[in-house]
Structure 1
Amino acid sequence: MKHQTFFRTTSALALASVLGVAAHAATPEAGSVIGNQATATYVNGAGDTITVTSNKVETVVQQVAGLLLTSDNSEEIAPGGKAFLPHIVTNTGNGADAFALTAVEGAGDYDFASVVIYADADMDGVADNATPITETPVLAAGERFGIVIVTTTPATATAGQTETVTLTATSQLDGTETVTNLDTLTVATGAIMELVKSMSVDKSAGDPTIVDAGDKVTVTLTYSNTGLSASTGYTVSDVIDTRLPYTLSSAQWSDATVAGGLDESNGALVDATNGVGETIAWQADAASNTVEFEISSVAPGRTGSVTFEATIGALAEAGLIENTATQADASGAYPDSNTASVEVDPQYVHVIDDSFTQSDLSVLRSATDDDAANDSVLETTDTAQGGTVVFEFVLGNDSNQDDAYTLDVSNLDFPAGTTFRVVGADGATPIVGEVPLAAGTGTKVTLIATLPVNAAPAAAGTTNYTATIEATSTQSGNVNTSTAEFTGAVLAATVDLTNAVAGSEGTGDNPDNLGAPWVTTTADPGETVIYPLELANQGTTSDNYNLTLDAPLPDGWTYEFQLPDGTVVTNTGTIPAGQSATVNLVITPAEDEVPGTTSFEIVATSPISGQSDSIVDALTVNTVVDLAISADQTTQAAPGGVVDILHTVTNEGNITITEGALSQTGLSQFSGVIYLDQNGDGVLDPTDPVIDNIDDIAGGIAPGDSVQLIYRVQVGPVPGVAETGTISIDTALNSGAATDGDTLDNAVEDQIVVVSGDVTLTKYQAIDPDCDGNPGAFSKERQAVEPNQCIRYRIVAANTGTASVDDVVIKDIVPAYTAYETCGAACDAAVTPATATLDVTGDPLIESSHGALAPGADASLEFTVRVDP
């Protein structure tokens, strides 16, 4: 598997600067690696322009937690009353998470008698049970969960006093992602209106033992003023579920002094008056199934009700029908009523037939039935020996709720050995288990009878084969049966699938090559291979053939069938009797596939006759051996000094490398030693061992993995002398059992110059999680970063020599998966010393010029990038 790294060499920096190309990519996935190197140039005392490169820093994108909490509540409450405060927790992270919950009252005017959190999984604003909770269940990404906070106000609370509850939800994934809501409760001095909705059912219209279509529903809206002042202009609006159409002229007011219904035909006029002169105006809109009334005044302590009727509609499905009413008066809106409900009982009726009329009055009909006079399905089209007979049935759910059906087939007098399959509406997908159907809907199912290959040929009209298909309701156990009848002729038919490769054809019906594939092709991982195939229709009528592989290929492999012109197909198209067609099977193994041979069976099957043929071919994935070392560097040292150069060795092949010589050449006046950076911190530690072979690494290097080397070079005493040290990986690996197939990346060259002015370039990184200019500690080691967080880079050029250097220039580039960021000026790019100049206009190229640098002095460039969200 190829291990991608993201960095730019000096030439890449120059190219990006010239072309103005942004070095950004698509949003990185978790685990993506962001990294690059910086470069610097300067002029030493001898007038030489010298280029040095920094170490490479890497950052890994992590999974993140996310949380949304809705919403704040603000309500009035009477002394001694209870408040029910609904909230919804949403997981906005990129993985499964659960959330701890706390509810803490504030330092308000009074203390609650109690504060408790309950589950509200259906999010209707009413607690599911009386069991308090302190956390949500585990929620998938994007999933929501409802809760209700119940508070009790003491009887001693006085009007105008307020108290708050702070709800806090905290991610269990990292313990730091926290969101709060604030609920405010104010003790009221005016009217406080409470609205309770109830619905009761009269079962007499239909089956008196169940609630079903046609039953009358009495809806009661009970209002109460629990406050201290009258409510004026009190209105209630109820948008009724369309499955409960309103019954005209059915409304009654409990306070009416004159018996009789409320009149919805007189607009907003008064419909009734009570004994103290309060009036009610009633309106109903049948089109929107909405009712509304307004009462002129409701005195404190007064309770009344309005009742009306609705009817359970003919198309109402089994299950709950829920409704909530809203209320308001001249002072504003009050909380909605409770959610009232009616539960329609299930009734089960279904058919399997040649037609079905759905609830929307559309009709499904069998497309294969040659006799519409009865509910059986007749097929008269001829078939072949081993061929298929197709019967399309219509399965319909006439129940008032969703149901599912199992299908069973019984052979009455088809030839012995006939097999039966039931497939879906597409005529191809097998039905496994149940067929779910919504109430009032139907679907087509197809019974495919496949005759045995030795079925005796028969003339049309002499067959009269029949089978029955039964549909059994999962909910009720009810069974409905229909019949499949075939009266066509049975003809001879066959197909031959072969390789279009001389000597490897595989001619005949499912030929056997003594257990071996007929054609075996070799390829590298990710390399596409083509297998030319030929299909011959050896039957007596034209036919077409579906093309498949008998079993799935390994994960990550892809395949498709193509016509000779490149058109992708899954079927050959019609092939006349006695003729042939050519198709190509195109297979691509996975990019990271390990060496080995995979056999596969290619199958051509006629959807008409059911005849099929197959051949077995194979693909051998080659062993790919490729160790790569990166990257060339240019550095310098003071006379007699040492320099540590970092390099990364990556296994870009598909086998583990456990042995392979490492060598360093090219140094004559200088000396060099290669060390294994065991902890990967980029610093040579006393415990880091000298390494000259991959077998010095425990376990070797697995495909896609990397190790870091430190090349320590001690230079000679004469300024101006330069040597190039080469680190090479032997192409003979694993004790000669493997040979590196890509030798272009088996060596790096490091140029080391002895200079009187010795400049070293070191790159550091720090994570700024909030992109606010406050990064953490800087380090050369790999760090973790999340999408939409920032990385602050610091590149330090230090003159470790004994003489001044001039024209110091530091260059870096914004790496892939990121964008240059200023954090609204909070994390602008910066340079030292203050006299240095900065140029970010070439983004993604960032460049600073520092002029002269005295011995012992250093210069730096800092800038920030934001990881793509």
Structure 2
Amino acid sequence: MSYQSKFLRTASVAAIGIVLGTSAHALSPEAGAVIGNQAVATYQNGAGDTITVTSNTVETLVQQVAGVTLTSDNTETIAPGGKAFLPHVITNDGNGPDSFTLTAIETDTGTLDTTNLVFYPDANMDGVADSSTPITSTPVLANGEQFGVVIEATVASTATGSDSITVTATSSLDGSVTSVNTDTLTISTDAIVELVKNMTVDPGVNGIVDAGDEVTITLTYNSSGLTAANNYSVQDILDGDLTFVPGSAVWSDASGALDDNNTPTAIDATNGVGETIAWDYDDAQTVGFTISSVGSGRSGSVTFKAVIGATANAGIIQNAATQSVDGVAFPPSNTAQITVDEQYAVAIADTAINPDLTPNTGTVSSTDDDAANNDVVTESTDVYQGGVIKHEFVLTNNSNATDSLTLSVNNVDYPAGTTFRFVGADGVTPIVGPIGPMAIGESRTVTLIAQLPTDVAPTATTDYTATVTTTSQASGISDSSTAEFNGAVLASAVDLENAVLGSEGDGANPTNAGAPWVTTATDPGQPVTYEMVVQNNGPVSDTYTLSLGTPLPAGWTVEFQLADGTVVSNTGTIPAGSSESIFVVVTPPEDELPGDTLIDINVASAVSGQSDSITNQVTVNEIYNVQIIDDQTVQASPGGVVDILHTVTNTGNVTITDGAITESGLSGFSGAIFYDANNDGVLDATDPVVADFADIAGGLAPGDSLSLIYRVQTPSTSTVGVSEIGTITISNTLNLTQADVDGSDNATSDTIQIISGDVTLTKYQYIDANCDGSVGTFTKTRLDVEPGQCIRYLVEAENTGSAPAQNVVINDAAPAYTSITNCGGACAEALVPGTSTATISATNLSSSHGTVLPGSKASVEFTVQVDN
């Protein structure tokens, strides 16, 4: 995986080794993601030749927005002077890291006279507090991450009636974004039983929770009412991804396993005070038990085991149990949960590869000329010099979670000068960005188009190969296949086509004589893990709360983990004289600038109040990385001039002030590179010629982009059919001595063709924030967009030649994480001329404009909405 995709989530196109993708829609894009694509047009010139042109690429940068969900409402019965424990789970629904402040307020303070409403952390979300240290906010949560809390509510001994508690989680990023639950407490002098469900899992040897792992489920009951709970029954219907382990049920009040095969009312065991239990398992998904009586103040538990099913997908498995006393329903247990970890696997071949299918059947490459299922896409049809060879591949997401895939191609022995590009399933639209999100088990087709150089020697036999690799964007794992051509290369006729790390800090020594103990260097967005040992040197067992003494800068995240990867907020119980290993995982933001950040790690006893801290340091490396996009194919008439717009982006974290920018490859044609100083996409008289970043005032700051205009002029004596390739290259050495971390995207090649007709294709955009059809100003430059907002595109084909362009067709596609919309009729497509027609789906657009006369334009406007 190239560094750029980890630092600034952007997709670019280069000649070879390019990272590419296609549009699809399901998940909200993360903050910092770059959305962009190109349009394609075809037309026929006066000689009847079909010509393909590509537009510039337009990009939009996704901004961070806040979102939160608080679950769920609780209804509890409580004795006068008693306590209730109310579990809640906070989910970060935003598209970037955020923390959430927590408040709980009794609606009518005179009814229950609640003396305390205190939040405690429940990081494993089992409904039981992990620590006795109160909190008022969550830690920083990544987008999609969850965190559990338990509210301890204490009511007065004189309390009567019922009242509600308003619980609110508020975003620290945007204080106006909140989520609210309502907990209801009712005072009773009758039987009261609180049921707490706990689910724990012993993960596999790699610390991964996956199918086949065993889950221990504990149902703990506590009779806190003033009278006994007679005929106390509990029923638990297991989730479909959990399978009960026969003979595993045990009652805390008796020895030995409970009998799964007794009738539902048969007594399985009796405790020391004569209370009996009847256990039942229905041989499917339901378990339950009935205890004859649970005396006031008594508690106990039933524990059993289940196994995670083979078909369980990544994500959360939730379960709650129900209870009743003498047939009267009581509030259910908390919702306990376990999380099945993500397991990633991807495949690329000539047919869909899915290990769950035997034999493998499904999508097959339509361009493969040899045996199926050999992982090679072979094309045998003869081509002319300069011709294109198409290899259709099938990508499959064999992960247990949704994923997006990127593509790269490595030329093995295709002739020098061969260019490669990927297009989508329609065989036309260029792929820009990741392919996905792809559902679990989903397959999609993509086509690699190899365009041979026009001067390749004709040959009757060939054996050209290229390696095509698909990489999981979530995990970085990859799979490769081969594109093979064994047809003949024929002498060319006229066939013009488009081609695109222990003991530091022992004792009370938080610093090493004022310096951090450990300094670890990392790249932006890459986690640093510190393994810490917590020793209990006291006389009794103790637990210790884990925290940071000094908050991290905005955007940084920290997790405290056990050796198996479980995220915790305290150490758990450590016996006197023993120790526990804790792993502190600190991650800087993906856009963090170079520098040092102190990490003040703290542990504190909730029993004795004793604490200790260690100061380490994270050093964020300097990253030098620029990219230029995209290859384009343009046309010009003899003696004509064409301006080709390219975007250069600093995807590193250091301002680029020096680095050569050169152009090469032209012989009969001439070219120069200009800096589009006012960023309007048009070459102005004030725009300077540039040959180095030093020519650009202030240089290029991290995350910023600039536009270069490559002006190429053709000789007046040029012959129709002649083409040249001009290449703009950014030096791999930046700021005099620093190497670009990814030089594969430092060059772009433009093909300029001499034709009798001349059509240029340009793409523009503006942001329609409310998706209501509001009119804005079109631009070619990068804009900022938020999830849920809309982007209006204009694709314009202009005939700048001297002959009519016939059968003009424009093709475009919705970028990744967007879909085409008409805003309920408010932003329908607009076509020029008025006789044009269009075929539109949620992912693709194709418009037909007939004949476009010299000096005239054909265009299509349409809108896409960013996934929310």
**TM-score, normalised via structure 2 length:** 0.46
Instruction: State the TM-score, normalizing by the size of structure 1.
Output: 0.46
Select the structure with the greater relative contact order (CA < 8 A; seq sep ≥ 6).
Answer: 2
| Structure (1 or 2) with the larger CA radius of gyration | 1
